[in-house]
Structure 1
Amino acid sequence: MPIIVDIDVMLARRKMPVGVLAEQIGITPANLAVLKNGRAKAVRFTTLAAICEVLDCQPGDLLRWEPDEVHQPAEPDVSARSAHGD
């Protein structure tokens, strides 16, 4: 998935254990682990806001986008040329 979750980075900067964050934002450590490890399909804005409040950060400090792969231009298909040499 091209959305990278950097909650662990912010936790390390704040020297805060995952369990403490989970307790302070009101979700289970297991659900926070799903989000933290990038396995979540969605996150509620209320949860994101609570994380930002506790960690004193912005959503962009926690989430970033990276493409799955670098797209290379396709090579021309030489077999598609006409018999007239076009």
Structure 2
Amino acid sequence: MPIVVDIDVMLAKRKMSVGELAERVGITPANLAVLKNGRAKAVRFTTLAALCEALDCQPGDLLRWEPEETADPDRTPAAEAGSRG
């Protein structure tokens, strides 16, 4: 997935446990684990805001975008668009 979740990094910087963060944010530790392990399909802005408040950070400290690696380097979106028409 091209969105990488770096909650573990901020937890380490703040010397905070998953349980403590979950309690401060108001979600279960299980739901926080789903989010921090990158298995969540979506995150509400209210949850993101609560995470940022609890960790005293910006959304960009928790989430970052990385391009997906393609199996075939010749098969890029630009190359595929050129072959369509």
What TM-score bracket applies, with the shorter chain setting the length?
Answer: 0.7 to 0.9
CA distance in 1, matches of 2:16, 2:74: 45
CA distance in 1, matches of 2:20, 2:14: 11
CA distance in 1 between partners of 2:2 and 2:53 (Å)? 25
Give identity over the alignment, percent.
Answer: 81
Question: 3-state SS of the aligned residue for 2:40?
Answer: coil
Are positions 1:23 and 2:23 aligned together?
Answer: yes
Structure (1/2) with the larger helix percentage:
2
TM-score of the aligned structures, taking structure 1 as reference length: 0.82
Bigger Rg, which one? 1
Give me the CA root mean square deviation.
1.2
TM-score by length of 2: 0.82
Residue of structure 2 in register with 1:64 after alignment:
64
- Structure 2 unmatched ranges of 5 or more: 76-85
Q: Distance in 2 between matches of 1:9 and 1:15?
A: 10
Counterpart CA distance in 1 for 2:34 and 2:68 is 20
Would you say how many aligned residue pairs link Structure 1 and Structure 2? 74
